Structure 1
Amino acid sequence: MPAGQAMSNALTLADFGSFYAGGRPVRIDGLPKREIAFTQSASLSYDPNGLYHFEQAYVQYFIPARLAHPLPIVLLHGGGMTGTMWEQTPDGRPGWVQHFLRQGHAVYVVDNVERGRAGWAPFEQVWPEPPIIRNAEESWSLFRFGAAADFEARRAFAGQRFPVAAFDTFIRLAVPRWLGNNDAALQGFCAVLDRVGPCLVIAHSHGGEVAYRALHARPDLVRGVIGIEPSGFSSQVEAACVADKPFLFVYGDYLDATPLWTKLCANGADYARDLARQGGRVDTWRLADMGIAGNSHMPMMDDNSDDIAARIGAWIRSAAR
């Protein structure tokens, strides 16, 4: 890269760092002690009973030297993912963290309860159900990279924009999740919002439910939500929480690939109408209908991810106050 180009792409930060938010102290009692060896030369008697802290969220933040918009952006991952999904694409291009920083937003990247650096609880007394983790086959079809029958051949949908050659890198992003932790995830995310203050939330997939519930739990802090193919929503929509706030729904291509996606899109349309009826300022983008074909469930990783980030940034500048 020429030196001049490198300089023009430089990004100056005023501050960056991380913090934990929320969670609860938990005391574990009644479990047996056991001998453990934690290196080849060190062993001890391990007592799992005692005081712990679980269900906290982890946040990494970046503040650009030149802020172009007063509202920071909080990036909330989807199910079975962590904040790394926003940092870099599987084929090594800059992620949406960098794009929104360059647009002049402070950016907060969340690892919510049980994910990534937020940590998890290994005790059934805390989370009684076993975790699940998404396998490669499910990711292939659920995220609409290609038909389930074409997984072994890695034959993607025609015109697919996801970098399929980097699929094996992508599946390394998957982490365990506990399906019964939605309320804990909401509480952890609200603790994040309490630290960040008024903001815009960009939520992907399962993160939609957490974001829209947080909109109602912290209406003074969530000033708008960009739902990237959200798969969950709040059970009610209250005018006092949504009136005159901007909401954007973004959907990619191949939405008729499975009955599940037909249902999820219908649910999203219903929720968007509920927001509008209660005074929200709602826009819905079906990218394929806008002449932008080929996007998967992961537009922040598709080969036009920078263009979509730019479009969302323009929407924020026109819609978010």
Structure 2
Amino acid sequence: MFLLLIVAVFALVAVAAPATSTPPGTLHYRSYVYAGQTYFPGEGSFVAANQVYAERLTPARVTQPLPLLLIHGHGMTGTNFLNTPDGRLGWADYFLSKGYEVYIIDQTSRARSAWQPTVNGPLETVDSLTTSSHFTAVQDFGLWPQARLHTQWPGTGTMGDPIFDAFYASTVPSLVNNTEQDVTIRSAGSQLLDIIGPAIVMTHSQGGELGWVLAESRPKLVKAIVALEPKGPPFILAVFPPFTPQLQFGLTDTPLTYDPPVGAPSELAPVVLNTIPNVTCFEQPTPPRKLTNLLDIPVLVVTSEASYHAQYDNCTVHYLRQAGVSVDHVSLPDVGIHGNAHMFFMEKNNIQIVEQVVQPWIADISK
């Protein structure tokens, strides 16, 4: 009977596996934790809202001193880091293989972090055309100059392609109100860090803003930040019109601690550093204020060759450095890695990127 059970399980795994050859994953223990819930009055009772879900993946042998906390971007969930849409190993498994314990969240009001319509406000969904033109088939749309260089997405990146369809099926509605996202992650994410303890925070895209938020609220627990094309540039939207104000505190929509202190966001009084078509890069006036709670936290910003972030991540990096933050900025083509766009951590060369750029940096700052 036991032998039959083993054979049955093997058969199920074999059926579920993709057609391409995929190496086995890393043996690990999986659990989860919720943090930060608040009770709100409902119809005759109460509902819980604003909690954050975190999936905890612990390798059979933990060899690294600090765990990783992974934060996905807008319209996404923590599944981004588990495996790729075409069935290859994701970054979570790579880090498990290197002995890191890994925590992966679903942002508040997203996926397994419950959304309460009477508490959290409206949601929005990224449509399939925007997903193709901004992320997976950018070379076909040419919405920014570097887009033509994109070669690394597996498949066509458009609706009807099975790999795109698998990826788009994983997208979910997200909060419209970015300040609400900031506020709830500041609370729930901070409580999660209190549970985890000191950690390295890795963020992507809109999640990049949340890395700064957590560093602000728990500067002693955030030991480093790896920002994969973090939300930017400071103060104003870029590349895609309308170019409306955003990130009123430079890196976030909610307050950061500056020295000298800032009361209202207008006191930052940003000035134009430079402009290119559809991008205005702002900096602080001289002498610049310092971001007090980020000064002792090393930061790595990673930018791909063909992403729209290639237009302005340098602005975000300049703003951080001007505010006294220690930042290493790696543009992937500068280290011989070409053809990637915004979702590079799940593209064809995803393991090359983490193995040659991200993990060595983490290992170095963890010494």
* TM-score band, normalised by shorter chain: 0.7 to 0.9
Q: Which secondary structure does the structure 2 equivalent of 1:168 belong to?
A: helix
The 5-angstrom pairing of residues 29-68 of structure 1 reads: 48-68=43-63
1:188 paired residue number: 188
Could you tell me which of 155, 159, 163 is aligned with 2:154? 163
Task: Give the CA deviation at 1:240.
Answer: 4.5
Looking at structure 2, the residues matched to 261 and 138 of structure 1 have their Cα atoms a distance apart, in angstroms, of 18
Task: Give the CA deviation at 1:253.
Answer: 1.3
Does the 8 A contact of 1:75 with 1:202 survive in 2?
yes
Does the 8 A contact of 2:51 with 2:113 survive in 1?
yes
Question: Which sits farther off after the overlay, 207-216 or 163-172?
Answer: 163-172
Does the 8 A contact of 1:140 with 1:147 survive in 2?
no
The CA deviation string for residues 153-179 of structure 1, in whole angstroms up to 9 with x for no partner, is xxx845510113411211112111112
Identity of aligned residues (%): 30
Q: Which secondary structure does the structure 2 equivalent of 1:164 belong to?
A: coil
Looking at structure 2, the residues matched to 267 and 121 of structure 1 have their Cα atoms a distance apart, in angstroms, of 36
Could you tell me which of 270, 273, 277 is aligned with 2:318? 270
The CA deviation string for residues 67-87 of structure 1, in whole angstroms up to 9 with x for no partner, is 221000001010111101111
| Structure 2 residues without counterparts, runs of 5 or longer | 1-20, 157-162, 233-250, 259-289
Looking at structure 2, the residues matched to 269 and 138 of structure 1 have their Cα atoms a distance apart, in angstroms, of 26
Looking at structure 2, the residues matched to 272 and 184 of structure 1 have their Cα atoms a distance apart, in angstroms, of 24
Does the 8 A contact of 2:68 with 2:101 survive in 1?
yes
TM-score normalised to structure 2 length: 0.70
Could you tell me which of 93, 99, 114 is aligned with 1:98? 93
Looking at structure 1, the residues matched to 195 and 188 of structure 2 have their Cα atoms a distance apart, in angstroms, of 11
Looking at structure 2, the residues matched to 77 and 283 of structure 1 have their Cα atoms a distance apart, in angstroms, of 21
Question: Which sits farther off after the overlay, 283-292 or 228-237?
Answer: 228-237
TM-score normalised to structure 1 length: 0.80
2:131 paired residue number: 139
Task: Give the CA deviation at 1:65.
Answer: 2.5
Does the 8 A contact of 2:53 with 2:113 survive in 1?
yes
Does the 8 A contact of 1:223 with 1:245 survive in 2?
yes
1:284 paired residue number: 329
The amino acid across from 1:179 in the alignment is V
The CA deviation string for residues 219-247 of structure 1, in whole angstroms up to 9 with x for no partner, is 01100000000015246465552334321
Looking at structure 2, the residues matched to 11 and 301 of structure 1 have their Cα atoms a distance apart, in angstroms, of 18
1:254 paired residue number: 306
Looking at structure 2, the residues matched to 268 and 68 of structure 1 have their Cα atoms a distance apart, in angstroms, of 33
The amino acid across from 2:218 in the alignment is R
Looking at structure 2, the residues matched to 106 and 27 of structure 1 have their Cα atoms a distance apart, in angstroms, of 37
What is the aligned length? 281
1:308 paired residue number: 353
Is residue 344 of structure 2 the alignment partner of residue 299 of structure 1?
yes
Could you tell me which of 16, 19, 23 is aligned with 2:33? 19
Q: Which secondary structure does the structure 2 equivalent of 1:163 belong to?
A: coil
| Structure 1 residues without counterparts, runs of 5 or longer | 1-5, 29-47
Task: Give the CA deviation at 1:127.
Answer: 2.7
Task: Give the CA deviation at 1:265.
Answer: 2.0
Does the 8 A contact of 2:135 with 2:343 survive in 1?
yes
The amino acid across from 1:221 in the alignment is L
The amino acid across from 1:162 in the alignment is W
Question: Which sits farther off after the overlay, 190-199 or 160-169?
Answer: 160-169
Is residue 75 of structure 2 the alignment partner of residue 80 of structure 1?
yes
Does the 8 A contact of 2:203 with 2:227 survive in 1?
yes
Does the 8 A contact of 1:68 with 1:105 survive in 2?
yes
| Cα distance, 1:159–1:25 mapped onto 2, change above 3 Å | closer
Q: Which secondary structure does the structure 2 equivalent of 1:225 belong to?
A: strand
Looking at structure 2, the residues matched to 171 and 85 of structure 1 have their Cα atoms a distance apart, in angstroms, of 11
Does the 8 A contact of 1:245 with 1:320 survive in 2?
no
Task: Give the CA deviation at 1:213.
Answer: 1.3
Cα RMSD over matched residues? 2.5
Could you tell me which of 100, 117, 122 is aligned with 2:117? 122
Does the 8 A contact of 1:82 with 1:115 survive in 2?
yes
Does the 8 A contact of 2:138 with 2:150 survive in 1?
no
Q: Which secondary structure does the structure 2 equivalent of 1:317 belong to?
A: helix
Q: Which secondary structure does the structure 2 equivalent of 1:284 belong to?
A: strand
